[in-house]
Chains A and B, each alone.
Chain A
Amino acid sequence: MAMQAEIQRPRAGNSRMGPDGAETPTVQVDCVTKQYNDGGFTAVYDVSFDINENEIVAIIGPSGCGKTTLLRQLAGLEHPSYGRIYMQGDVVEAPGPERGMIFQGYTAYPWLTTRHNAEFAMKINGVRPQERHKRALEHLKLVHLEHFENHYPKSLSGGMKQRVAIARALGQDPPVLLMDEPFGALDAQVRWEMEELTVEIEERTHKTIVLVTHDIQEAIYVADRIIFLTRNPGQIKEDIRLEFKDNGRFTKKEDLISHPGYSDTEAKLYRMMREEIDHIREGT
């Protein structure tokens, strides 16, 4: 790990080709509007974007911009009021094992040991005991928890509990991993470790990752692309491709921060965030 190159480049995508020879996006969000109270409150308004295979996309925006609502709709835990969400070409109607999700709150099951947590998704999907044991250990190695396989979550730290949840979500081998402010409750150092781990997991397992966060630095570090949502209703303010990363990813956060492109992007995102906050202050 120590002597890795500064930037890792993802290998060429091998996703399904559409009839016209173009890649079918892994996730398509098509004109999604989400309203509550019979249309009295609009959380997300007319949002459309595609996410391609092996992409890491961060959704950021001010508090209350509907980013979590949007992610929950991708998961199938909530439904759009208007529009459609497609997963590999099929309309999303309910949660499914092809879209794993990591929540902000700790969801490692307290009654299962680390290993049985990691096996849970495979168990309920009918994977045979020997096979799931083997794969669970691989996933626990990936999140550096192989020495804690017999611990209950109660004896683990917050970051370790989140790593258990990640290993468990990897169990069913989902092409898409949805992460809802997964590191929001962790302290700064653990958060940083978890961000690096997220990039590492994508590099090793080639997941498509959608990360909801309110942390600008986290978004720039982890993502290939940032979708910035405005507040009330949530609309796409800008879809930012992080060009300075030159189609690669940083394995170490200090390499990112010392890159000249980083501070420009960070300043730009802070300006966008300020515009939104000023909007709220002016009541428009």
Chain B
Amino acid sequence: MADATTSGPADADREGGRVKAGPRPSGAPFHPPKQRFFSLQSVFEPRTRMILALLGAATLFLLWEVAAHSVPDAREKFFPPVEQVVGELYLLFAQENYIVDVAWSCLRIYLAYILAIGVALPLAVAMGTFANLRATMNPTLSALRYLPAASFIPLLLVWFGPTDTAKIILLFLGVIWFLVAGMLSNVLALSKDLVESALTMGARRRTVVFNVILPATGPHLITTARDLSAVAWTYLVIAEVVGAQSGIGAMMMRAGRFMQVDVIIAGILTIGILGVLTDMGFRLAHRLLFPWEY
């Protein structure tokens, strides 16, 4: 048996065992060669990985800093160094009530994204499960992916004016087709055996969908949602450029009018940080929702 109950050094001590474990093995201790930094398919400790990740980020900021200082003084206004942008970020939060803009942007994005997941997930599961639905809808839905969401801006403005509704719909349109396509391929990648084994246990269609297909594909669906959340963030500024008084994008457009490059870069930095935080949130949710994956 491969059971873990019968292993370990106790076995070697047993009567009749060929090896009698001594206090010290007779072979000289072997020291394997030190792992090289560029060794093939190496595995690092989480701590080492964290340090390397921080090192990577630090390199980016270092390059930025060096580039900013090598710009001629007369042009420095157009390429501020790191400390100036960070200082501006602090001022924005401390004096300009920037937190309200950030909150508005987050609200729009998360609302649009939750709506998009709410539509894409059932649609993808239904299409992945039933071939007739897939044959009917997928060609059209795939074609919609090629329509740039930004091209809907004039239409949305005519219909809804420069409202939050228009912005949320734009964000929604920016990700929905990609979410459907990604989640559909998750469902189609499901092993047929898992479904068939349920059928041979007497499962009805409903049971197969809710007790097999959903739990089996869930971890992959959430990973797709995590990957594509980045796409939603890329549409944020486009959405908020259009007649917005609030939000990170609106703040950046205002700054653009006065050529406040440091404020614009502070906005870009904010979006980047929020994107990374969203990604981490998804990772945490994945871990909590699907403990069997870890």
Chain A contacts to B: CB under 8 angstroms: 75-77, 94-97, 99-101, 103, 105, 107, 109-112, 120-121, 124-125, 144, 147, 152-154, 157, 159-160, 165, 168-169, 171-172, 178, 190, 193
In whole angstroms, how far apart are the Cα atoms of A77 and B196 in the complex? 7
Q: Which residue of the partner chain, among A75, A99, A144, A178, contacts B3 with CB atoms under 8 Å? A: A144
Q: Which of the segments B140-148, B180-188, B197-205 contacts the partner chain?
A: B197-205
Q: Is the pair B292, A152 in contact by a Cβ cutoff of 8 Å?
A: yes
Q: A124 contacts which chain B residues (CB < 8 A)?
A: 198, 201-204, 207, 211
**If A111-B292, A157-B2, A160-B2 touch, does A121 touch B212 (CB 8 Å cutoff)?**
no
Q: A99 contacts which chain B residues (CB < 8 A)?
A: 200
Q: B198 contacts which chain A residues (CB < 8 A)?
A: 120, 124
Shortest Cβ-Cβ A-B pairs, 6 listed = A97-B202, A121-B201, A101-B200, A95-B199, A107-B197, A152-B292
Q: Is the pair B215, A101 in contact by a Cβ cutoff of 8 Å?
A: no
Q: Is the pair B193, A105 in contact by a Cβ cutoff of 8 Å?
A: yes
Q: Is the pair B199, A121 in contact by a Cβ cutoff of 8 Å?
A: no
**If A77-B200, A97-B202, A105-B193 touch, does A144 touch B1 (CB 8 Å cutoff)?**
yes
Q: Is the pair B2, A190 in contact by a Cβ cutoff of 8 Å?
A: yes
In whole angstroms, how far apart are the Cα atoms of A160 and B199 in the complex? 22
Q: B204 contacts which chain A residues (CB < 8 A)?
A: 124
Q: B194 contacts which chain A residues (CB < 8 A)?
A: 107, 109
Q: 8 Å CB contacts to A: which residues of B226-285?
A: none
Q: Is the pair A125, B3 in contact by a Cβ cutoff of 8 Å?
A: no
**If A124-B198, A125-B202, A160-B2 touch, does A105 touch B191 (CB 8 Å cutoff)?**
yes
In whole angstroms, how far apart are the Cα atoms of A107 and B203 in the complex? 15
Contacts A75-B196, A144-B1 known; 6 new A-B pairs at CB < 8 A: A77-B199, A99-B200, A100-B200, A107-B194, A109-B194, A110-B216
Q: Is the pair B201, A103 in contact by a Cβ cutoff of 8 Å?
A: no
Contact of B42 with A by CB under 8 A: no
Which residue on chain A has the smallest CB distance to residue B207? A124
Most chain A CB within a 10 A radius of its CB, from B1, B200, B218: B200
Q: Is the pair B215, A109 in contact by a Cβ cutoff of 8 Å?
A: yes
